[in-house]
Structure 1
Amino acid sequence: MFLSLLRITFQEWWNDNIIRFAASLAFYMVFSLAPILLIVVEAVSLIFSKERVKEEALNQIEMLIGPQGAAVAKQAMISFGLTDYSPFAAFIGVLGVLIGSTAVFAELHAALNKIWDVHPKPQRSLLKGMLMDRLRSLSIVLGVGFLLSVSLTINAVIAVMQSFFDTMIPGVPWVWRILNSGSSFFVVFLLFAMIYKYLPDVMITWLSVGLGAAVTALLFTAGKFLIGIYLGRMAIAGAYGAAGSFAVLLVWVYYSALISLFGAELTQVYSRRFGASVRPKSYATWIGEKSIPV
């Protein structure tokens, strides 16, 4: 059954022209990275120290895309920082950060609606629709901050456990590596579950969301090694010289966009064929052949 599900998912993923959507999404992801990190760091800094939050955020990025991509993200955060500006310039800068950080999720929202074949009702106010889309996207950004807080807490607990048990049971560092990898997988799983549940304009069960999020998190974990092999064989960083680190980031971001939308397609296929009933939210409606509730 699962192989059949994957086959149908790939067919719909291809028919929906997801490769083009992924390219568009990757463009927004690259230019939204710095403002998203800034908002997340500032939000989580209300609980933890700012330096610790920055370190954890960059560690998570490095675990996913390696040191070169993390270096680009770090430089982007530094360059995008709002310092020594006049009040008006600071206001414009903050507004730019908010717009930039939500752009990627607004684009992802459009891609997910394409996958589900839903769209906002025509009579919906354009301005109201744009504001709601941005607020929804901002809530996802803040959700990323919450997940970073969860990651920090889990890592702190693991560090305490390691310092305690190393004195009693030395020689088992592999246990802590497994726990750290497991915590990263859990955070990625929660992130995609949140995106697949709340971003598209459809009502979906958590069971359907869980399958798509789990598969996407697995592909993310595998992607770290697959992209590493690909970059090693293709020598992209060296071929592009000074822009090599940015090229590495682009490759990873495009791969991330592809598998994110594949996970969304899997969630859609599973929900329609094996999950509970799916219906559009109050402000949206079905389009095309999928306009009949299932």
Structure 2
Amino acid sequence: MSEINLLAIGKLAAKKFLDDKVPRLGAALAYYTVFALAPLVIVAVGVAGLVVSEEALQGEIVAQIDQTVGEDAAVFIQDMVANSQKGGAGWGVVIGFALALVGASALVIQLKGALNVVWDVPVQATKGLANALRARGTALVALLGIGALLIAVQFGTAWVSGLDNVLSDDLGFLDPLLQLLTPVITLGLTALVFAAMFRFLPDTAVGWREAGAGGIVAAAAYTIGSWALGFYIGNGGVGSTFGASATLVVLLVFIYYSAQIVLFGAEFARVYGQARPAPSAATVTAGETQPSRPEPDGTHRSPLPAVGAFLAGLVIGWWRQRD
């Protein structure tokens, strides 16, 4: 696709961004994210703690927040997580972890709804307890998948950094290459996370090509935007007029604008998919079109048994490790 077409797609995406009232959707996402921050960190640390040290991973997450938003926000989130984990013992730990999953899944449901707006999916009322549980179970599966990809981003970045330290003495001439490789790998893995979100969360068929295009745009914009927002927040005195609430205000500002960036990437993916030429009749006859995702009609198999089995194994493994 030519540069002119990509520019046209960007303009159409910006128009659709405003038509869909995405700034309002981003505000709702920011609200849900603030309340889901502690559950998200607890779930991520709990899952990854089966493989690596929980303390080390939690410290790495807090360090990343410190670098992006600032020390006060990092300490604020660390205190939220610590307060959420206080007083847990025995079944209390299991119940607390389950509640953290439910709280974090609420954010995924809200994100799913925002992406449905972007992809013009008709709103369908959720009727009955079974459908509500199915929606929550699907959100849990999506949450765990996104969490696994985010952890992969951290591991990939840490692996390249560690490789840089190991090779710096013997193969110093590779140091510039490895320093360049670190942001490239981080950008690629971040694009993969966004592409997976755009591919699987909306209740409609989204091809990997359009999801990937949106993921690349979102990852590039997020990388640049997070640096710019961090610089602005650190030097612009955003929260200076809010007193004791300054840290929360800074977090809300950062999450709100980050949500706008991610949702613009989704709009780009949507417009990119519409701009692609439709398959010819011969292609349709040959059966080479992408399979469409079945619409949720309540007759497809529920993911709850798989979710229940996974969570049971997760809790048992976590419990054994803590003993």
Give the TM-score of the pair, scaled to structure 2.
0.78
Partners of 2:78 and 2:171 lie apart in 1 by 37
**AA matched with 2:166:** F
Q: Size of the alignment, in residue pairs?
A: 282
Cα deviation per residue 1:62-85 (whole Å; 9 max; x = unaligned)? 344343332222222112115345
> Paired residue for 1:282?
295
Aligned to 2:160: 158
Could you say which residue in structure 2 is the equivalent of 1:183? Answer: 185
Distance 1:28 1:176, change over 3 A: same
Structure 1 residues 62 and 176: CA distance shift in structure 2, 3 A: farther
Structure 1 residues 128 and 61, CA gap change in structure 2 (3 angstroms): farther
Query: Is the Cα–Cα contact under 8 Å of residues 164 and 179 in structure 2 kept in the other structure?
Result: no
User: Is 1:111–2:114 an aligned residue pair?
Assistant: yes
Matched, 1:34 2:38: yes
Change (3 A) 1:61 1:132: farther
Q: Which has the higher contact order (CA 8 A, sep 6+)?
A: 1
Are 2:54 and 1:47 equivalent residues in the alignment? no
CA deviations over 1:142-165 (Å, ceiling 9, x no partner): 123322442344244324422332
Partner residue, 1:69: 73
> Equivalent residues in 2 for 1:97-136 (5 A)?
97-119=100-122, 125-136=127-138
- 2:99 is aligned to 96
Please identify the structure whose Cα radius of gyration is greater: 2
> Quick check: 2:161–2:182 contact (8 Å CA) kept in 1?
no
Output the CA distance in 2 between the equivalents of 1:102 and 1:68: 26
Report the equivalent of 1:234.
236
Superposition deviation, residue 223 in structure 1? 1.1
Residue 182 of structure 1, CA deviation: 2.5
* TM-fit CA distance, 1:172: 7.0
Q: Deviation of residue 114 (structure 1)?
A: 1.4
Identity of aligned residues (%): 28
Letter in 1 for 2:199: K
Q: Does 1:220 align with 2:222?
A: yes
> Would the aligned equivalents of 2:26 and 2:256 in 1 still touch at CA under 8 Å?
yes
Contact residue 115 and residue 265 of structure 1 kept, 8 A: yes
Amino acid paired to 2:83: S
* TM-score computed with the length of structure 1 as normaliser: 0.85
Check whether the contact 2:112–2:201 (CA below 8 A) recurs between aligned residues: yes
What's the CA shift for 1:8? 0.7
When structure 1 is superposed on structure 2, of 182-191 and 155-164 the one drifting more is 155-164
Whether 1:244 and 2:246 are equivalent positions in the alignment is: yes
Is contact 1:207-1:275 (8 Å) kept?
no
Q: 1:246 to 1:200 in 2, by over 3 A?
A: same
Residue 218 of structure 1 aligns to which amino acid in structure 2?
A
Contact 1:118 1:280 (C-alpha < 8 Å) held by counterparts? no
| Alignment-mate amino acid for residue 295 of structure 2 | S
> 1:100 Cα shift?
0.9
Whole-Å Cα distance in 2 between the matches of residues 169 and 91 of structure 1? 48
Q: Which moved more, 1:207-216 or 1:183-192?
A: 183-192
Give the structure 2 partner of residue 289 of structure 1.
none
The Cα of 1:215 is off from its aligned counterpart by 0.6
Question: Gapped runs of 5+ residues in structure 1?
Answer: 285-294
Q: Please give the secondary structure, in 1, of the residue aligned with 2:122.
A: strand
Structure 2: where are the runs of 5+ without partners? 279-288, 298-323
State the distance in 1 between where 2:119 and 2:194 align. Answer: 16
Q: Is the 8 A contact 1:44 1:148 kept in 2?
A: no
What SS does the corresponding residue of 2:72 show, helix, strand or coil? helix
Q: Is this contact kept in 1: 2:88–2:96, CA < 8 A?
A: no
Moved more, 162-171 or 18-27: 162-171
